[in-house]
Amino acid sequence: MIAHSQTKGKGKEKHIKSLAKNAKKAALLRRNGVTYEHVGTIRNPEYESGLKDLPFESCLIHNKGNRIVRVRTAPKYLTTLAEFQYCDEGFPVLTREIETNDLRAGNHRKIKAVDKWCEYWQPKYQAKEISLLFYTLTRANKARMTIGDLLRILKMNLKRNNIELLDYLWIQEVSKGLHFHYHLTVAIPRISYKTIPKFFKMDSYWGQRTQVSFVKKNIRFYLSKYFGKSAWRIDQGFRAYGKMRKLTRK
């Protein structure tokens, strides 16, 4: 009697979950006109052959015993999604199947983070309420410190000069030839410097060549042009992007 009751309860729970899933799909269709459903995921047979070795300074790696980090040049997982749209009769129909992978999905999350960041700060930049800085930090695998440590130093340098760090967003990139570097954008209150002051420059701390400039038009233009270059990623323990956790938003 008890076993029969448990089986019945599980069947009811599955039915409820199925109804909830269908309701969510219908809501997405009504709102967006299209929705996607997971069909299946397989491991990419070319994943292992696509791994490349990249030497790292030991100070940048949590596991100091291994100074070689692997770069992913091929996706690890291949995924199939089904796309549904409303037909003229008013019910959802399968329109196509889409092939994607985990590298594309990661890049999509990165783009969403950039869009959200730009949507908040770009209007304030256009209203001349803030200034935006754009950094390129080269040869990150040979740097003296992590990007987190560099940001703490930048924040201290700004504070010493009575400038508040309002927000930042950084993006990791591994380009062809295994060139590992970061792009960093920083939001600060409006300043009137015509040239880059010395305390903005990070070469001596980073230990490699860095570039910094004032953003002159749209920050999304500065960031988005790097997405199409390469989807290669560090395979272990390195985030693809990062942003300020405790924001100082004016």
Model confidence over 1-53: pLDDT tens digits? 444 455 555 555 655 555 566 666 666 666 667 778 889 999 999 999 999 98
Helix (H) or strand (E) holding 17: helix 2-32
Stretch among 6-20, 95-109, 183-197, 221-235 having the lowest mean pLDDT: 6-20
Higher-pLDDT residue of 187 and 90 is 187
pLDDT of 250 above 80: no
Query: What does the pLDDT average to over 100-110?
Result: 88
Stretch among 1-10, 208-217, 222-231, 241-250 having the lowest mean pLDDT: 1-10
Which strands sit side by side in the sheet containing 233-234, from one edge to the other? 51-55, 68-72, 233-234
pLDDT of 77 above 50: yes
b/e code 94-128 from CB counts within 10 Å (16+ = b): eeeeeebbbbeebbeebeebbeebbeebbebbeee
- Distance between CA 223 and CA 241 in Å, rounded? 12
pLDDT number for residue 220? 80
Query: What does the pLDDT average to over 158-176?
Result: 92
Where does the pLDDT of residue 62 fall: very low under 50, low under 70, confident under 90, or very high at 90 and above? low
pLDDT number for residue 234? 82
Instruction: Return the structure tokens found at 211.
Output: 């570039």
pLDDT number for residue 246? 64
pLDDT number for residue 226? 63
104-243: CATH number: 3.30.70
Residue 121 falls in which region: left (phi positive, over 0), alpha (psi -120 to 50) or beta: alpha
- Distance between CA 186 and CA 169 in Å, rounded? 7
pLDDT number for residue 86? 73
Where does the pLDDT of residue 111 fall: very low under 50, low under 70, confident under 90, or very high at 90 and above? confident
User: Model pTM?
Assistant: 0.78
pLDDT number for residue 2? 46
What is the chain's alpha carbon radius of gyration, rounded to the nearest angstrom?
23
Higher-pLDDT residue of 127 and 66 is 127
Query: What does the pLDDT average to over 162-174?
Result: 93
> Which residues of the chain are in CATH 3.30.70 domains?
104-243
Alpha helical stretches, state H, 46-176: 102-126, 147-160
pLDDT number for residue 20? 61
pLDDT number for residue 99? 94
Query: What does the pLDDT average to over 69-81?
Result: 91
Query: What does the pLDDT average to over 105-130?
Result: 90
